[in-house]
A and B are shown apart, each in its own frame.
Chain A
Amino acid sequence: MEKLVYIALFAPFVGSLFAGLFFARSPKNIIVGVVNPALIFISWLASVALAFHVAEHGAIHVTMMDWISAGALHIPFGFVVDEVSVTMMVVVTTVSTVVHIYSNGYMDHDKSFNRFFSYLSAFVFSMMILVMSDNFAGLFIGWEGVGVCSWLLIGFWYHKKDVTPDINPAISPSYAANEAFIMNRIADLGMLVGIFLIYWNVGSLQYDVVFKELPHLEDGILVAIAIALFIGAMGKSAQFPLHTWLTDAMEGPTPVSALIHAATMVTAGVFLVIRANPLYSLDAVSDVSYFIAALGTFVAFFAASMALVNRDLKRIIAYSTLSQLGYMFAAAGLGAYWIALFHLAAHAFFKALLFLGAGNVMHAMDDELDIFKMGGLKKVMRGTYLYMGIASLALAGLPPLAGYFSKDAIIETAFNEGTYVLWFALVFTAGLTAFYSFRQVFLTFDGEERYKRFGFHPHEMYRYVLVAMSPLAILAIIAGWFQDSFHEFIIKLLPEYEMSHHTHHNAWWLGLLVLFFAVSGIIIAYKKYARKGDKAFKQDKKVESGFFYKLLMNQYYIPAFYVEFIVKPYTAISDKFWAIDKAVVDATVDFIAKVIYKTGDSSRVIQNGNLSSYLNWMGIGAVLLILASAIAVVMG
């Protein structure tokens, strides 16, 4: 079984090296397009085999070699395949395999085809390290690794130049890439502090040792660790106020958005909270956990509200990702870790599908993203329409699709905990989710064919790409049906979460209420955006100049706020420091040097060879000496 662990882990790495070392400088090579997806597929096979093994025989723990040891610190490269990590492995490799095959079609004409695969496989490798590591330092390797791959892939089209924010809110791919990296680093500092705290209080960074030791620690330290680790999670999972990078990250190629910025990397924060559940379920840190749930709920609503008005195909989906991450944190914060993980998995499938569908649309529309310029595309893109419809239904939480089961469970949890404010916010957000998802679908695929006015000639994606997407579509439909077996599998590791009798009793109307909100959202979207002729959708200037529309369109002015109050002052202070460095610190040194030089220069007159001036100086010297001795006598 050890071999399978290493195969699952290193197959993507081999792929990355293969594409990176041998083909980095050559033009598109179909061998890369075949070998890399194949290697990811092998990793998937190994992960699935491991999943069955874990289900029957329990966790596998391997230690490859030592990494860092100094003083009392020992960090190995160790990997643990248990219920949680194997779930993540299967989810990651499933989506990755599809995205790798998909990229063959999507990146077809890109001159950096091979480089793309090298980065993409490197990402999968980092993600596998992240989920498989058996200690916090190993987790951090993957954590930073996915960060770098994300940086490389957001900035993949680095040659594009910067434009002003009113043309493209992300400015340029390289700008968005740097923004993402730096914002994540802010959170990483929190994560590092958490690691230091753990080390100095437990003496080890191994999960099993740490989790066993936790109950013996002081409450204050536990709270500090919980906060520090969650700050780390907030960066990767783009929680408020570190959320702005995620929408800008849409500058990357769409397969990247599907894999990294929807299905896998951004869920790393949720994974961390789930992994550290022995910490977050302690009574001492219940306030932190509740905060996580509250923040998650806030982000769920906050992100959904921005999705309501946006016209950018990918940004809408990015907001919905943000919103769904909020749902996951809500569940994890309320103690329903397994439900959070379940939603994480289900979300990965339907959201990746949604993004890949969006990629098809972009491919058809020459990279146009404005959904107001689309409409009626279903005629030419039947397959994509179907896929995006399924994904949106799943996202909206309609039965019997995946999202219905997982999201409903989260909302029910909020009710069960008696946190009714959170509960209602989540129910209401479910309605918003359905509305904006179908607003997007209808504006893209139904209604008048507005694209004709702009001279587009859309065409359907390659057939093999559509076939490759089918596993995700099937999973988006059926994943929810396995709720019970997943529950049975996962609670061997994660704490059980059961609904009270009261909740059970009310489950039927709770479900119906959510459904009511969701269906209403879809109907409103249909009425507004899907019709043709007289009732066809028209832009309403009056609404668009309204306060709320502008507020939402400008993302609550948060990016502008960051620019004005963080970026600009930082630049100004840096310039100021540089000026100080030259004008004060360095000038002082030069001044001292000059004084010495000048003193030497001016004291030269003492030795001018003139006897009478020598006598004068001698006289002055004698007076000074007498004065000095007089003072010494008086003082002494």
Chain B
Amino acid sequence: MEHILSILIFFPLLAGILGFIVDKESARAYGISVAAIEFLLSLWLWFSFDTNSADMQFTEFLPIIKEFGISYNVAVDGISLFIVIMSTMITLIGIISLNEEKIDNMKNMIVSLLFLEMTMVGVFVSLDAIIFYLFWELSLVPMLYIIGAWGGPTRVYAAVKFFLYTFAGSLIMLVGLLAIAYLYHLETSVWTFNLLDWYQLDLSVNLQFWLFLALFIGFAFKVPMFPFHTWLPHAHGQAPTIGSVILAAVLLKMGTYGFVRFSLPLFPDASVQMIPMVIVLSIIMIVYTAMVAFAQKDMKQVIAYSSVSHMGIIMIGVFAMNAEGLSGSIFQMLSHGMISGALFLLVGIIYERTGTKTMSKFGGLASIMPVYATIFGVMLMASVGLPLTIGFVGEFLVLLGFYEVSPIATVLAGTSIIIGSIYMLSLFKKSFFGEVTNESNRGLKDLNAREITALLPLVAIVVWLGIYPKPILKPIDNSVQKLLTDMEYKARTPEAKKSIISIKRAKEEK
């Protein structure tokens, strides 16, 4: 299976096209089967991945437009491998969780999801800037459709806002990418969009700065960083559950992944130079949105804002410039994917049952739906970063790593463990504790088999990777150390050389 990555990308596409001719009644079953096969394939990818190597693996290279050096160029390393697996897993779980009674036109939904899956896998394995950009933009289309077709009352506003916002950002990013290709051409008189070639490009600090900024806008809109985050609450507020799950779990990670794959290795000096700005924005993101989350009346909005807050932790990890912080940040991308995905599923379940997400309409749910409350509780604890859950490992490593950059900023960012528990615990208290305030809630049914099937794997992973993160953390760490070594080698300014701590140097100092 040399072409495993191509299979991973194009199998959902093919299956999606074939999905149009599938019988309406069996659409969900079809979707589950396809997503399951895709997930198994991604697992196969993991098992045949050489975890001791930090390099790109399963590379496929096929020139498309030779004149401009655009090629179909895909590969995975430890950084992207697990994000790909998470994407296929979340898609599978999302499709399992779909309720046939609540979603009309299931067939279209399945087809959209499979297209979306293709674009997600595509983004994370592309090593050609143009192909990357194609998948990046294509991912907007199915999500636009999912929000616009199955969303809430103001879904069109939310969908268009989501689309235009991120699209505007990516256009600026595209300009940046074209500029890099042009600069590469100037230097070597060769046209190429191969990212690995670009890594060799030695840019002046000034150019790095402007290019960093261009890409920053594209990525930051997606993350979304403060103050570009306001499309997210609208999108989550209107999106159907499945949309929110995939949006929070996978699509947001494209932004942070972009920083790791593009900004850091291409512009090491500018990245170091921009640390203060990233710190300020991220800390505002962490503290401010966590407090906004506390003010929400709607359960889903709490989770939506908490998502932004947690993405802030990921951001400072990316810019920690040491292996502890950066590995932690990539691990946190995975853990945030699992946890926020599960939390959005959980909110969706109660919304399906009661038709509301307003917390004041609940109260005392723990005594009516004990299994639901228990799983919610586990995810809550993971979300606030309890040790031995997946949420702790990433958050701990990020904060630990970032402490080397700025102790004060770390303390400020670390307040997320306090304010995070404030909004989550108050959400839990309002909805699950106390007396049953709403008599009509008494008849609510606990989780059914479909919902448990969707949630249990997430619970298992949250605990498993909390106790034994090594199988995931080690390949990530390998690739991260390579990335940092390359960055340190490439950095021009002494400040950047000093800030980037590759493991090799840490050993020499000892």
Contacts and interface: CB of A to CB of B under 8 A. Distances in A.
A203 B510 contact: yes
Interface stretch (A180-188, A212-220, A383-391): A180-188
A75 to B, nearest CB: 9
Given A70-B323, A71-B327, A148-B381, A196 B370 contact: no
Interface string A172-203: 10110010011001101100110111011001
Interface stretch (A265-273, A404-412, A573-581): A573-581
A484 interface: no
Nearest to B506: A72
Given A71-B481, A160-B434, A193-B411, A186 B387 contact: no
A203 B434 CA distance: 47
Contact of B164 (A145, A196, A593): A593
A631 interface: no
Given A188-B417, A192-B399, A66 B410 contact: no
Contact of B422 (A68, A182, A188): A182
A148 B387 CA distance: 10
A574 B295 contact: yes
A79 B292 CA distance: 41
A54 interface: no
Given A144-B387, A174-B429, A196-B400, A73 B422 contact: no
Contacts of A571: 294-295
B224 to A, nearest CB: 11
A589 B374 CA distance: 40
Contacts of B229: 585
A372 B195 CA distance: 78
A155 B328 CA distance: 33
B468 interface: yes
A155 B468 CA distance: 30
A159 B481 CA distance: 50
Chain A interface size band reads 35 or more
Interface in B354-368: 364, 366-367
A210 to B, nearest CB: 15
Given A69-B474, A72-B503, A186-B418, A577 B411 contact: no
Contacts of A478: none
Interface string B318-344: 000011100110010000000000000
A70 B324 contact: yes
B400 A199 contact: yes
Given A189-B414, A586-B230, A141 B388 contact: yes
A22 to B, nearest CB: 14
Interface string B359-399: 00000101100110010000001001011100011001101
A140 interface: yes
A102 B383 CA distance: 35
B69 interface: no
A155 B432 CA distance: 11
Contacts of B441: none
Interface in A580-613: 581, 585-586, 588-589, 593
Given A185-B418, A589-B165, A25 B370 contact: yes
B403 A71 contact: no
B433 A574 contact: no
Interface string B163-199: 0110000000000000000000000000000000000
A145 to B, nearest CB: 7
Interface in A141-180: 141, 144-145, 148, 155, 158-162, 172, 174-175, 178
Nearest to A179: B425
A71 B387 contact: no
B255 interface: no
B414 A175 contact: no
B499 interface: no
A76 B415 CA distance: 26
A578 B305 CA distance: 10
Contacts of B397: 68, 70, 73
Contacts of B392: 144
Contact of B401 (A67, A71, A141, A197): A71
Contacts of B418: 182, 185-186, 189
Contacts of B434: 158-162, 172, 174
A192 B414 contact: yes
B437 to A, nearest CB: 8
B404 A200 contact: yes
A60 interface: no
Contacts of B481: 71
A24 interface: yes
Interface in B448-472: 467-470
Contacts of B422: 182, 570
Given A66-B470, A174-B429, A577-B295, A159 B435 contact: yes
Nearest to A567: B422
A570 B290 CA distance: 12
A71 B366 contact: no
A577 B233 CA distance: 14
A185 B323 contact: no
Contact of A65 (B327, B415, B468): B468
Contacts of A66: 470
A68 B469 contact: yes
Interface in B473-503: 473-474, 476-477, 480-481, 503
Interface in A356-388: none
A574 B425 contact: no
Contact of B295 (A148, A200, A575): A575
A328 to B, nearest CB: 25
A223 to B, nearest CB: 14
B498 to A, nearest CB: 15
Given A196-B410, A585-B230, A73 B164 contact: no
Contacts of A192: 396, 399, 414, 417
A390 B376 CA distance: 45
B59 interface: no
A68 B417 CA distance: 19
A199 B388 CA distance: 20
A581 B234 CA distance: 12
Given A578-B295, A593-B164, A68 B473 contact: yes
Given A144-B386, A589-B230, A178 B425 contact: yes
A68 B393 contact: yes
Contacts of B328: 70
A199 B403 CA distance: 10
B292 A69 contact: no
B421 interface: yes
Among A72, A196, A203, A586, find the residue whose CB has the most chain B CB atoms closer than 10 A.
Answer: A196
Contacts of B230: 581, 585-586, 589
A195 B415 contact: no
A585 B367 contact: no
Interface in B128-157: none
Interface string A490-503: 00000000000000
Contact of B388 (A145, A186, A197, A593): A145
Contacts of B296: 578
A78 B65 CA distance: 56
Contacts of B477: 69-71
Contact of A178 (B295, B367, B396, B429): B429
B303 to A, nearest CB: 15
A517 to B, nearest CB: 41
Interface of B: 161, 164-165, 226-227, 229-231, 233-234, 288, 291-292, 294-296, 322-324, 327-328, 331, 364, 366-367, 370-371, 374, 381, 384, 386-388, 392-393, 396-397, 399-401, 403-404, 407, 410-411, 414-415, 417-418, 421-422, 425-426, 429, 432-435, 467-470, 473-474, 476-477, 480-481, 503, 506-507, 510
10 contacts: A68-B469, A68-B470, A69-B477, A72-B503, A145-B388, A158-B367, A174-B429, A178-B426, A199-B400, A575-B295
Given A141-B387, A182-B425, 10 more contacts: A25-B371, A69-B477, A70-B397, A71-B477, A72-B324, A72-B507, A144-B387, A158-B433, A185-B384, A199-B400
